[in-house]
Structures are given as structure tokens and as C-alpha cells.
Amino acid sequence: MIGQLRDKCRRLLQDGAVQVVIGYGGASTPDGMPHPIFVRRPDDVDKLVWNDRCMSNLTTYLTRDAVKALGKPAIVVKGCDARALVVLEQECQIDRSAMHVIGMACAGVGSPRAPKCASCDVHVPALADEVIGEAPETTGPADSPYSELEEFLKKSTVERFAYWREETARCIRCYACREVCPTCYCRRCIVDKNRPTCIETSATVKANFAWHVTRAFHQAGRCTGCGECTRACPVGINMRLLNQSLARAAEEHFSYRAGTDRETPPIIGAYGLEDKESFIR
Amino acid sequence: MSEMIAQEALPGLVDKWLAQGKRVAGPSVVKPGYCLYVELESSAQLALEGFVRPRNSIKEFVFPRHETVCRYHFSGHTVETEDCDPPQSEQVIVGARPCDAAALPILDHLFTWDYEDKFYTERRKATTVVTLACQTHDDECFCTSLDLGPAAEQGSDVLLLAMPGGYEVRCLTDKGKALFAGETRTAEQAAVVPPGPPVTVTPETVMTYLQASYDDPMWIDLALRCLGCGACAYTCPTCHCFDIVDEGTAAGGCRVKNWDCCQFAMFTQHASGHNPRPGQSQRQRQRIQHKFRIYPEKFGVMLCTGCGNCARNCPVGLGVLSTLKEAAGHGPVEVGS
């Protein structure tokens, strides 16, 4: 797979079809974790790697000015990452025709496997210009994406509140969750608005709750479940569970899963006469 | 010959400190894979082995991520202010890593420089640091490159070193002696200090580079992958930037001191809209310049202890060490050029 990937990227750069490849590479040790790299010369494509430690969702770079300034990109995506491309395209943040998407067939990432991989149904990326690798043999149907949430909802309200209190109390407000997220592309995040202050920057339980609940609500019907927020969190806050809750609501009430279909209008960005809520009609 | 405390006696001592009303903090596994320094309620929470180092640092016990420095009330056309006093209750940090403890004397320079920040200094006076020498290190550790090491004593009041059956206890200050008085026994042997990570960069080379190469395009390449979050700074034992914010209503509120981070675009954003560090490359350069040129030029010490938390916590694996290696010409430029 890596040979194919490098050959493809070499050709794309040589032909001038793209000016930069956003891929994985550069682990300092053989078993180290690859990190995002930006390859601009055909001679450098050998720096690209592909393995089950390629965790980052690289689509978060597509909306960044410094990366956009490099020219037309080719981007390496896993199936779960590619779902963010659908959202970004629907929200007019990217021009899908102005990039080359290289999908990597993926059997799962992380050791132990990332929680999202148990419920993966996108081993082969959709929306890619080409896919490298074969669909892995699966050992059975994927788990429900909401199994962790369903387990959590068996707890009482008091227990759930205590859980979130403990989780959010650890938040140091570094905003790694926001920065890794492809769909957190606002030029000015609500938490950075200070005239007047919308959400206090203090890392208190109250303000941390406000931050995490607001972040989750802004992801309603948009989060594609790549899990980067939870992976990036230095203090291990389980944001995945909050995101799942809103994703399940979108699925239950609107039969909508973010990032799975380019043609279905996004629920937050579309108006429908058949909407269940009367206030909107 | 050495003084030692038995393995099974240490938790009892921690509980004794708690019973004396001291605030005790130490490493604890809050969930699988996440070892953090936390305030302990009992010694059962304390974790002393099975990890390289906690993902946060001990700085938050002398420089909390959030602190109220005064309160204000509006009445008519006047404002009444009410000063807040820093807490002076005694606290013990047990199981600190040498790279955390060593950060405290580095931070002292800043917080006592042109203005004494009593919120820091009062806490610092009331804190006793019981450090545990490192048994292991990983690829991100580089304390030895900065003249520290697995049994470095800087900033510690007591240094514990693992030995068969317990820990060798080296009391380094009067505060440390007071804490362990009557708790140790004499042992025939002394602990063996384990080796630290190999020396990988030389600060002098980095300093020379930073003084000469302000406009190196390397920063643009290097910073492409930086996402601009604060995971590095907030888990760094030495990063100390903060923001003063007023939080409240029309009736009054609090003036608070919150951690801030030079990697945020907002950090240098002026009210006019102008930003002197508009791009991530300027912000990355600033972080390294501050740590390895500006701070040493001002205070004579580097603003880094080689703990490696920046790299371990960075979602895209960008740490001080890999940057220094590139800056010092020890490694190839990884990103495309």
C-alpha cells in the first residue's frame, strides 16, 4: 500500500496536478506515531508512511490559511476522516473539485484499537478520487456506534451528572479538542468572544460545563465521530460520549448521519416543511 | 549508609499528612492511560510507578489554572474592591518528577522579578516538594540535555530513590527534614541512580541558532502542522503565561487570573484588530525563542526542564525536542521544503 501511495503522490506532484500532499510521516522511532506532514517535492514522497498508528484526521488542515496558501492539495484520508469532507463541502468550506482525495482502506487504528473502530462501517473511504488497499475482512457486523452511550444512559441522572462533573472538572481549557476538529473551523470561536464574554475562560466546573456543552451543541448533526477531540485531550475527557448523544438524536429524529451522503441536506443548514417542530413552519 | 522509608510505610505517611490537615497532591491514574497530578483524598489514589510521568505538571499547585485575585462591586458611581488573599495552607506534593520540581526555581525568577506575585510566592512558601527519582524514561525525555537528570535535586525538598524494600530518603531542605523527621530508618545500602535519557541537544547550539536565525523559513515549515492549541503550554512545567479577566455582571464580579498560551491567535490580538504574531509560525518561533533565548538572557536559566510533556500531549506530535533538533541541525527537516 505504501508503495502505491508514494507512487501516486510522486506522479501528482511531478505532473503539477497538486502542489502539496497532506499525509502522514516523520515518526522519530520505528514504533512511534506518525504525524501530519506536508510534502511539496516529488523527491520527498518517501517520507510518507501508512500504518495503523495514523490517527490524525488530516481534513482539519484543509480550512487553514497557511495550508491553503501552499496550493492545490492531495489529502490522505481514512474512511472516518472522509466523512468530514462531506460536511465541509456541504457547509461550503472546501471546494471538493480543487483537491485530490486519496482514500486508504483501513482495518482500524490505534493500539488498543480506537473506540470508533469497533463500529466502523467505512473501512473503504467514500468520496475519494481513488482508494489504495483492499477492504479488510470483517469478522461480523460492526457494533452500534452508540453502544457506549446506551450503557451510559442506564445510569441515573444523578450518576450521569456526577460523571460529567468529574470529567469536565479536569478540563484545562487548552482547546486541543477544538483545534483538531475538522468541523470546528470558525474564525472566531464563541469561547474567544470577549466583548462581551459569552463563555468564561476560567477553568472552573461551571465554565468548563458551558464550554463542553456549547462545543457539543455546535457539533449537533455535524460531528462525524472521528474521535479526534477525545484522542487529543491531554486529560482524557470523554467528549465522544457527548458527541454520540447528539449524533444519535440526529439519527433518531431526522434519520440523519453527518458526513455519509453528499445529497442529503444537512439538518442544521436545511429547512423542511415536514419538520416535526411547529415553530419553524 | 542511607536513610530510608519502607515501601509500605510511605502511604501511611501520606495519610498522616492528610490527617494533619495538609493539602497533598501526587500522581494518580484518573482513568486508564491518564496519570495526572491531582489533589489526593487518600494515599490509595497515589500512583508511583507504571508510567514515565504524569500528563500534567505540578505547576498548577503553585500557579493554578484559574484564580480569583480580587472582587469588585459597583454602587452608584463608585467601585468597591475587595482584595483576595492567596491560600497559605500547607501543601505537600509527593511523587513529583525531578523535571517538575526543577521547574519551580525557574518560575521563581519570573514571579518575583519586577513585581512579587504573592499568589505564587505564598503558595510556593507553603509547599513542600517530595520528588521521586525516575526509574524509566521514554523517547520524549531530554532532561539530561538541560543539565538535569533522573535524580536531579533542583526544586525538591526531599528526594526519594527507589531501592529494594522501599525508598532512600534524601532530605535536601529544612522543610523536607521536618516532613520526614522520625519517619526514616538507617539502611546499609544506598539507592542506585538509574541512567537518564541520552544527551541529544546542546543548549549552547540552540542559543546560537536562535540569536542568529530569527527569520529562518524553517519556522514556516515546522509550524504548518501546529494546530494552535494549548496542550503543550498547559501541560508544561515551566510555561507560565496568564491572562487577567474580569468576570461578572453589572453589579460586580471577580478579577481572575487564568492560564493563557502563546499558541492561541488571541494571545497577541490587539483591540485594534492588529496581531503582531498573525501566523502559527511566528507563534511557534516565539515559544522556542522565549524558552531558549529570551528567558535565559533575562534570568540565566532556560525555561524548560526536558520533561517531554509538550510532545507527548501534542495531538500532532510537535514537541520542543524535535524542534530543537532541527534548530540545532541535529536532524533533518522533516516537513517538505
pLDDT in tens, B96-126: 999 999 999 999 999 999 999 999 999 999 9
CB spacing of A197 vs B55 below 8 angstroms: no
Kindly report, residue by residue over A196-225, the tens digit of the pLDDT. 888 999 999 999 999 999 999 999 999 999
Q: How crowded is residue B163: how many other Cβ atoms within 10 Å of its Cβ? A: 16
For chain A positions 78-117, those within 8 Å of chain B (CB to CB) are: none
Segment B67-95 mean pLDDT? 94
Give the model confidence (pLDDT) of B142-189 as tens digits.
999 999 999 999 999 999 999 999 999 999 999 999 999 999 999 988
Q: Is the pLDDT of residue B337 over 60?
A: no
| Per-residue confidence band for A268, with pLDDT thresholds at 50, 70 and 90 | confident
Chain B contact probe: residue of A173, A189, A199 with most B CBs at under 10 A: A173
pLDDT, tens digit, 9 for 90 and up, residues B300-315: 999 999 999 999 999 9
Distance from CA of B162 to the nearest CA of A (A): 27
Residue B48 near residue B132, CB atoms below 8 Å: yes
Give the CA angle between residues A79, A82, A88 to the nearest 5°.
160
Closest-approach residue (CA) in chain A for B35: A235
List A residues 16-55 in contact with B (Cβ-Cβ < 8 A): 20, 25-29, 32-41, 44, 47
ipTM: 0.94
Question: Considering only CA atoms, which of B236, B104, B55, B323 is closest in space to residue A237?
Answer: B55
Query: What whole-number distance in Å separates Cα of residue B95 and Cα of residue B92?
Result: 10
Those of residues 144-173 in A touching chain B at CB distance below 8 A are 170, 172-173
Task: State mean pLDDT over B273-299.
Answer: 96
Mean pLDDT of A222-249: 96
Name which of A35, A70, A229 to mutate to probe chain B: the one with the most chain B Cβ atoms within 10 A of its Cβ.
A35
pLDDT band per the 50, 70, 90 thresholds, residue A166:
very high
Contacts of residue B283, defined as CB under 8 A and 6 or more positions apart, other chains included, come to B223, B226, B228, B262, B263, B265, B267, B277
d(CA B223, CA B289): 14
Is residue A26 predicted with pLDDT exceeding 50?
yes
**pLDDT value of residue B331:** 43
Per CB distance under 8 Å, which residues of B are interface residues toward A?
A: 30-31, 33-34, 36, 55-56, 65-66, 139, 220-221, 223-225, 227-231, 233-235, 243, 245, 247, 256, 258-259, 261, 264, 266, 279-281, 313, 315-318, 322, 334-337
Name chain B contacts of A38, Cβ cutoff 8 Å: 221, 224-225, 335-336
Cross-chain Cβ contact A235/B55 below 8 Å: yes
Per the structure block, which three cell numbers stand in for B75?
A: 454602587
Contact A234 B313 (CB under 8 A): yes
| Closest-CA distance of chain B to residue A97, Å | 23
Distance from CA of B208 to the nearest CA of A (A): 24
Contacts of A27 in chain B (CB under 8 A): 317
Q: Compute φ and ψ for B232, nearest 5 degrees.
A: -65, -55
In total, chain A counts a number of residues equal to 281
**Residues of chain A positioned with their CB less than 8 A from the CB of B219:** none
Rounded CA gap, B323 and B316, in Å? Answer: 13
Query: Which residue in A59, A95, A74, A96 sits closest to A12, CA to CA?
Result: A74
SS3 A38: strand
Say if the Cβ atoms of A29 and B65 lie within 8 Å. no
SS3 at position A194: strand
Nearest by CB to A176, which of B36, B281, B315?
A: B315
Q: Which residues of A touch B323 (CB under 8 A)?
A: none
Backbone angle region of A236, left / alpha / beta, with phi > 0 → left and psi within -120 to 50 → alpha: left
* Residue B34, beta-bridge partner list: B31
Mean pLDDT of chain A: 93
CA distance B36 to B29: 6
Structure confidence at residue B335 as a pLDDT band (50, 70, 90):
very low
The three cell numbers of residue B31 are 482513568
CB pairs under 8 A between A and B: 129
On the question of pLDDT at A280 being above 80, the answer is no
Mutation site for A-interface testing, chosen from B225, B242, B282, B320 by largest number of A Cβ within 10 Å: B225
For the cut 80, the answer to whether the pLDDT of residue B84 exceeds it is yes
Among chain B residues, the shortest Cα distance to A187 is held by B265
Give the residue, B205 or B257, on which the prediction is more confident.
B257
pLDDT at A66 over 50: yes
Quote the minimal CA–CA distance from A280 to chain B in Å: 33
pLDDT at A260 over 50: yes
Contact assignment for A228 to B224 by CB distance below 8 Å: no
- Give the residue from B59, B282, B334 with the most A CB atoms within 10 Å of its CB, the best one to mutate: B334
Q: Which of B231, B243, B259 sits opposite A176 (nearest CB)?
A: B231
Q: Can you give the length of chain B in residues?
A: 337
Averaged pLDDT for residues B50-68? 97
Q: Given B139, B227, B258, which is nearest A28 (Cβ)?
A: B139
Compute the mean pLDDT over every residue in chain B, rounded to the nearest whole number.
93
A232 φψ region: left (φ > 0), alpha (ψ -120 to 50), beta (else): alpha
pLDDT tens sequence across A177-194: 999 999 999 999 999 988
**pLDDT tens readout for residues A85-142:** 999 999 999 999 999 999 999 999 998 899 999 999 899 998 899 999 988 887 666 7
Q: Is the pLDDT of residue B332 over 50?
A: no
> In this structure, are residues A39 and A45 in contact, taking their beta carbons and an 8 Å threshold?
yes
For an interface test with A, give the residue of B220, B244, B257, B316 to mutate (most A CBs within 10 A): B316
CA torsion A168-A172-A175-A181 (nearest 10°) is: -40
Are A80 and A228 in contact, with CB atoms under 8 Å apart? no
Q: How far apart are CA B107 and CA B232, in angstroms?
A: 17
**Is B336's CB within 8 Å of A194's CB?**
no
Contacts of B61 (CB under 8 A, 6+ apart): B25, B37, B91, B93, B123, B127
Could you tell me the pLDDT band of residue B334, with boundaries at 50, 70 and 90?
Answer: very low
Whole-number percent of chain A with pLDDT over 90: 81
pTM of the model: 0.94
